[in-house]
Amino acid sequence: MIARYKFCLWLVERLSIRRMTLHEIMEEWRRCGENIMGMELTPRTFSRYRALAEEIFRVNIECYKPRNEYWLDADALADADEWSMSALRLHSLCSMVGMRDHIVVEAPPAGSELLYVVANACREHRVLNFSYSSPYNPDRDCSVIPLFIRLFKQRWYLIGQPVGRNFLTTLALERMKDISTGECATPTVNPDPEEYFSDCYGVIRQHEPERVVIRAFWPQNKYLKEVPLHASQRVVDECENWTDFSLYVRPTYDFKQELLSQRDKVAVISPESLRNDMIEILESMMASYRDGKAHCIDE
């Protein structure tokens, strides 16, 4: 890992614990085990890397100039890019001698090899041209103005606007072939990425969002408190054996998949339409298990 990225991660983690003067930062970094290359930190170097850390992790590093003291803005820290920080932490650990035999990770997300090309096209607002292969439709040539990318369930997705159209589409990176960049283009639809998916469980953005209440039975209710299904999840009722959670989401295919993955530990309480959908899916599954034939329900 390049020394400057190690320093950026180290700086953000240290300043998240306490305020530090520039002298303290320079001295602690000099003695730090992460500084295995012995990188010297000067005031000018610190200024550059401070700006880099703010850009990478989306934080604000504040400074009280009379004491040359630095700290992380509390509100910005809450929105920090934890995924990037986690990835850099893992890379740093794996680069340490003897640590690779003690860390087991999942396979890299599908489509990762295209990340640089796609992300760079997003930044430069350049049209992406590629052939798109899908098991549901014939292969087709696409020209898309890329807006942003999203990682979900070990797959990278591109959200972009097809050239000449006035809507957004979501495309899986691993299905893109013969990708190339074209001219710069300005999208006519350009939503905020966080807001665009705020009511979605995953990457499917169909149906209107609605209030969903699920009942999680012990011990899954304890687990869902630790690992919520969605940012909107709240506890609305509780007893010794179960907990009712409220979520504000779109009742999409991937959300129903997630509910089914909870096995018999979760049941939909409301709305009735979603509850009936889940009952129909479960009955279809039971029929397939009984006779080994397809009883699939089209979404």
Q: What is the pLDDT of residues 48-72, one digit of tens each?
A: 999 988 887 778 899 999 999 999 8
Task: State if pTM tops 0.75.
Answer: no
d(CA 128, CA 181) in angstroms, rounded, equals 5
- Phi, psi of 141, deg, nearest 5: -90, 135
What is the β-pairing status of strands 155-162 and 169-172? antiparallel
Query: Regarding predicted confidence, which is higher, 291 or 134?
Result: 291
d(CA 74, CA 49) in angstroms, rounded, equals 20
What's the whole-number mean pLDDT along residues 141-158? 92
* Confidence class for position 159, pLDDT limits 50, 70, 90: very high
**Hey, what domains does the chain have and what are their CATH numbers?**
3-102 (1.10.10.10), 112-196 (2.30.30.520), 210-291 (3.30.70)
* Confidence class for position 81, pLDDT limits 50, 70, 90: low
d(CA 284, CA 86) in angstroms, rounded, equals 40
Q: Is the pLDDT of residue 153 over 80?
A: yes
Nearest alpha carbon to residue 148 among 157, 135, 139, 138: 157
Q: Is the pLDDT of residue 93 over 80?
A: no
The DSSP annotation for 191-236 comes to: --HHHHTTT-SSS---S--EEEEEEEETTHHHHHHHS-SSTT-EEE
Q: Is the pLDDT of residue 6 over 90?
A: no
Please state which of the ranges 10-14, 66-70, 256-260, 277-281 shows the lowest mean pLDDT: 10-14
pLDDT score, position 31: 81
Strand order in the sheet with 176-184: 169-172, 155-162, 137-152, 126-134, 176-184
Task: Work out the mean pLDDT of the chain and round it to a whole number.
Answer: 87
Which ranges in 125-173 belong to alpha helices (H)?
none
- Residue 199 contacts by C-beta under 8 Å, 6 or more apart in sequence? 209, 232, 248, 249, 250
d(CA 241, CA 229) in angstroms, rounded, equals 19
Query: Regarding predicted confidence, which is higher, 204 or 1?
Result: 204
Q: Give the H or E element holding residue 269.
A: strand 266-270
pLDDT score, position 107: 76
d(CA 171, CA 9) in angstroms, rounded, equals 31
pLDDT score, position 144: 96
pLDDT score, position 199: 95
Cβ(234)–Cβ(246) under 8 Å?
A: yes
3-state SS assignment for residue 112: helix
Strand order in the sheet with 266-270: 234-238, 242-249, 210-217, 266-270
Query: Regarding predicted confidence, which is higher, 85 or 179?
Result: 179
Identity at 144, one-letter amino acid code: V
Task: Supply the Cα-derived Rg of the chain in whole angstroms.
Answer: 24
What tokens were used for 50? 């401070």
Please state which of the ranges 76-80, 127-131, 227-231, 290-294 shows the lowest mean pLDDT: 76-80
Please state which of the ranges 2-11, 77-86, 228-237 shows the lowest mean pLDDT: 77-86
pLDDT score, position 230: 96
